[in-house]
């Protein structure tokens, strides 16, 4: 069993829909990271959180430490949100990654 599990693996949505991607982990962590990878490969850090909730524009990330679960929400989704979203946890400086969720938002 992977230490970091994401669901769903693939997600297709229509523009404007509210999107949720889930991440569960099985190890103790210092922080949980949400990353975005666009076609072409570059990875960008969206959020790093160790408790509660963070918001940046249309993106919201939440974490429940007791349940070892995090969610990434995208409100009013747009085709430019199409990317792979990756959850990662850091017990120390090195990250352990989920397999990623491929999101496609259709116009």
Partner 1 sequence: DVKVTQSSRYLVKRTGEKVFLECVQDMDHENMFWYRQDPGLGLRLIYFSYDVKMKEKGDIPEGYSVSREKKERFSLILESASTNQTSMYLCASTSSGEGQETQYFGPGTRLLVL
Can you give the binding site for partner 1, defined by CB under 8 A? 29-31, 33, 35, 40-45, 48, 50, 86, 88, 90-95, 97-100
Q: Any residues with CB less than 8 A from the CB of 17 and at least 6 apart, and which?
A: 77, 105
Residue 40 CA, chain-centre distance (Å), reads 19
In 3D space, the residue among 84, 92, 89 whose CA is nearest the CA of residue 8 turns out to be 84
Q: How far is the CB of 76 from partner 1 (least distance, A)?
A: 26
Residue 104 tokens, joined? 């496609």
Q: Say if CB 65 and CB 51 are below 8 A apart.
A: yes
Q: How near is the Cβ of 53 to partner 1 at its closest, in Å? A: 16
| CB of residue 30 to partner 1, shortest distance in Å | 3
């Amino acid at each position: 069993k992977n230490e970091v599990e994401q669901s769903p693996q693939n997600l297709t949505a229509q523009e404007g829909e509210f999107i949720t991607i889930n991440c569960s982990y099985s190890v103790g962590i210092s922080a949980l990271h949400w990353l975005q990878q666009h076609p072409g490969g570059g990875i960008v850090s969206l959020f790093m959180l160790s408790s509660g909730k963070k918001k940046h524009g249309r993106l919201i990330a939440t974490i429940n430490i007791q349940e070892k679960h995090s969610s990434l929400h995208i409100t009013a989704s747009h085709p430019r949100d199409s990317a792979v979203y990756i959850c990662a946890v850091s017990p120390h400086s090195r990250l352990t990654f989920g397999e990623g969720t491929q999101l496609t938002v259709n116009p």
